[in-house]
Chains A and B, each alone.
Chain A
Amino acid sequence: MAGISRDDVAHLAKLARIEMSDAELDHLAKEMDVILGAVARVQEVAASDVPPTSHPIPVNNIVREDIVRPSLTPQEALSGAPAQSEGRFKVPQILGEE
């Protein structure tokens, strides 16, 4: 049976880029344990000779002619941006300053 600890949830939250309070981590660790216990049932019938299905219909690469078509103007593309500058998305620093 898979047990999931508070530290595990903290690690997952870090991977998922979600800040979590101590209270949230405590609560979620308990819930995850219960939910994982319930969904682990899938292993009972997932025999090795059963192929996995990722998609209900066959998915193929579809290519189209490379034709220039109308698309969003830079202004439209930036219309929902939390911050912008000189016609570009403005984001917080990505690399730390040395």
Chain B
Amino acid sequence: MAAALAAGTTTSVALTNAHYAQIEKVDSAVHAFLYLDKEGALAQAEAVDAKRESGAELSPLAGVPLALKDLLTQKGIPTTCGSKMLEGWRPPYDSTVVSKLKAAGIVILGKTNMDEFAMGSSTENSAYGPTHNPWDLTRIPGGSGGGSAAALAAFEAPLAIGSDTGGSIRQPAAVTGTVGVKPTYGGVSRYGLIAFSSSLDQAGPCARTVLDAALLHEVIAGHDERDSTSINAPAPQVVKAAKRLDVKGMKIGVVKELQGEGFQSGVLSRFHEALDALVSAGAELVEVSCPTFDYALAAYYLIAPSECSSNLARFDSMRYGIRVGDNGERSAEEVMKLTRHEGFGPEVKRRIILGTYALSSGYYDAYYGSAQKVRTLLMRDFNAAFAKVDVLVSPTAPTTAFKIGEQVDDPLAMYLNDIATIPVNMAGIGGMSVPCGLAPEDGLPVGFQIMSPAMRDDLMYQVGGTLEAALLAKWGAPLLDKAPVLVAN
């Protein structure tokens, strides 16, 4: 699309209108979007077209439409984070990611659905109803960024932004047959990203190809003085890496702990075929053991809820968001309790209570403290592994997309969906999911995860790009060509 725009064979306005037409056609069935900003998007598209016509130099993605996860603030545009708590809130400022998208001339179509405050693996925790997987509308699109991934798979947008705290970009990418990248922690500014778990949250690019993700990655990456945890160093050159299409001599570590029990057989068979493709391309496989990975999930479900119980304390009904039960008689505290009762859904309450417990005196050392120690051990596992290999790989998710409603009543089963993605967040390194085929038993997409050392995001793009090209040569067409054609209903 960017090439067609640059060549003048299409305009941004035409592309934007075409995507709104597709959204009109399929989104009643998919429900990827929570809000559409047609007026703003078309104004941006017109501005880019005018600039192009005047001969001004534009960034590579200028004029290309994008879907934005509803947890990044965009000035004047409703931002709910999938929660009733923020219903109707229009932020008075742009997040840094949005400022960068706008500066690059990218057209923001609207805001995408997500699990409430990014807590979930299926988008079923959204207060505004679930998103449906375009491959099979009775199934989940992953979560928390199911809206962004579904929008890509349903051709409602060519690019999207997600956020990944425990897998919320990569797992939806895996189950929708799209590409999703969690950059190194601190690689992309968190300013204006509504916080869930501050030491784990990271915004990143979602796309249909590795190169598109790389182009978007370079738009949003970089140091930001408004986020003191953003890394003050040159951003990795991921576009160049995505174009290399060569892994000769690279050492690829296969994580022993992420391929056994609990992993669907079709997921494993496609994963092994992808490994074969990388070997054919000249990579060397090394089996690597990361023993602490078995404890990563448990540690995550202490650290993330602990941080969330603190971060979500800001929703106190005083300065923004909804307020419930203020009858002039009740105290601020009573109103706060009623508001939080109404405003938060079951999963958010569950995690706030869990986090409050893990941080409470008497239990702090046993739970939160122990989880922090596991985090140290996980980082040691990664450091030892990256001393031997360039990148690590595993299936992105243990299964393909499950049915909507299948796991809602079993939080522990739901948490297991993130078993392979969580270690990356705990260590703050980079992770990517690339489609590697359809599971033979159900015909649904499988994701291949690549993990790279901190600030070496280029390595995962190099491997991801090479794998994508090798599989494309084998299949003859992109995986998404096999997705069912959605029709208006």
A residues neighboring B (CB under 8 Å): 2, 4, 8-9, 12-13, 15-20, 24, 28, 31-32, 34-36, 38-47, 50-57, 59-62, 64, 72, 76-77, 79-83, 89, 91-94, 96
Contacts and interface: CB of A to CB of B under 8 A. Distances in A.
Given A16-B309, A42-B367, A94 B341 contact: no
A44 B371 CA distance: 11
Contacts of A4: 357
B180 to A, nearest CB: 19
Contacts of A13: 353
Contacts of B333: 17
Contacts, number: 179
Contacts of A28: 349-350, 353
A90 to B, nearest CB: 9
Contacts of A34: 411-412
Contact of A91 (B292, B318, B370, B412): B318
B231 A57 contact: yes
Given A16-B353, A38-B412, A76 B199 contact: no
A43 B228 CA distance: 32
Given A39-B301, A50-B373, A52-B375, A92 B231 contact: no
B259 interface: no
Contacts of B49: none
A53 B353 contact: no
Nearest to B92: A76
A72 B93 contact: yes
Interface stretch (B116-124, B129-137, B322-330, B394-402): B322-330
Main secondary structure of the interface of B (DSSP, over half): helix
B428 to A, nearest CB: 2
B387 interface: no
Contact of A45 (B332, B356, B373): B373
B372 interface: yes
A82 B374 CA distance: 42
Counting chain B residues whose Cβ lies within 8 A of the other chain, the interface size class is 35 or more
B302 A91 contact: no
A91 B332 CA distance: 7
Nearest to A42: B370
A59 B332 contact: no
Given A18-B340, A62-B228, A56 B185 contact: yes
A41 B426 CA distance: 17
Given A12-B353, A52-B372, A42 B331 contact: no
Nearest to A49: B373
* Most interface-central of A9, A12, A24, A76 (chain B CB within 10 A): A12
Nearest to B380: A50
